[in-house]
Amino acid sequence: MLNNEKSEINSINLCPRIYYYFTKTFYMKHLFILLFFANITAFGQVQRVIEGQSVIRDNIIANNEFNFFRDWSNIASFKSGIGESVMLFPIVYSSPDGKVVLHGLQLNAFVKRQVPATVYTSTNVSNFASAYAKDFFSRSVFIDKEDVKKMITYIERDIVPNLETTYKKQSKEYVYKCKEMFMSFLIDEKQLRITMHISDYGPLGDGHGAGEQIEFWTESQVETIPKFLASIKEAYSKMK
């Protein structure tokens, strides 16, 4: 075999190896960066703990007959840069005889599936990439009337006055929790972030097929907080 033929064959054999090396290097580098920022985020945030379930959900589960009213004419919402969103709108649960009437908000979250922790530590590039290719899914939680009032107070007291607040080498997080949702406003030096964690009760809301918690966060929509607050206050003003 001629030398130039040998050289050509060797170059052909090396191509898959070179491609594999650079592909693996590229993904591992980005995996390291992702882990680095995930660790920073975990260090800079308080524990997200949600316990219990709303009175509205208690009644839905306990009773076989009830009426459920939703009002989509007034929606408070946030959207993220990757297409995720949360929407809150007024609801009324009532028994057929009208003896039980419960007002509140329903929160619908439309988010991407979370990447399992096992994928983060995996060196399998295909598993890491495919985890991000999964579709969006939606879940719903309920916020009781008394918790809506507390949420309004939290936003008016802790978030709105601090939309222009910044720190130097410091951060501060303002937290609100109810039975099915955790909300926080984080000021990390000059960066502002709204985060919502909600309980996952499964696709039917009965606990079957449920996970632990669902996270939504946005930085680009923090400035819309006054509009968000106005919608929540309007909804609460009509609750009896």
Same domain? For 3 and 88 the reply is no
Q: For the whole prediction, is pTM greater than 0.85?
A: no
Same domain? For 136 and 229 the reply is yes
Provide the domain limits for residue 7: 1-44
The pLDDT assigned to 113 comes to 73
Please choose, from the candidates 69, 73, 88, the residue with its C-alpha nearest in 3D space to the C-alpha of residue 240. 69
DSSP code at position 63: -
The pLDDT assigned to 200 comes to 79
Same domain? For 35 and 86 the reply is no
Same domain? For 85 and 40 the reply is no
In contact, 188 and 181? CB cutoff 8 Å: no
In contact, 197 and 177? CB cutoff 8 Å: no
> Could you give the number of structural domains in the chain?
2
In contact, 178 and 194? CB cutoff 8 Å: no
The pLDDT assigned to 240 comes to 87
Same domain? For 78 and 31 the reply is no
Same domain? For 104 and 191 the reply is yes
Same domain? For 140 and 78 the reply is yes
Q: Which residues of the chain have pLDDT under 50?
A: 6, 9, 11-12, 14, 18-20, 22, 26-27, 29-44, 117-133
Same domain? For 136 and 218 the reply is yes
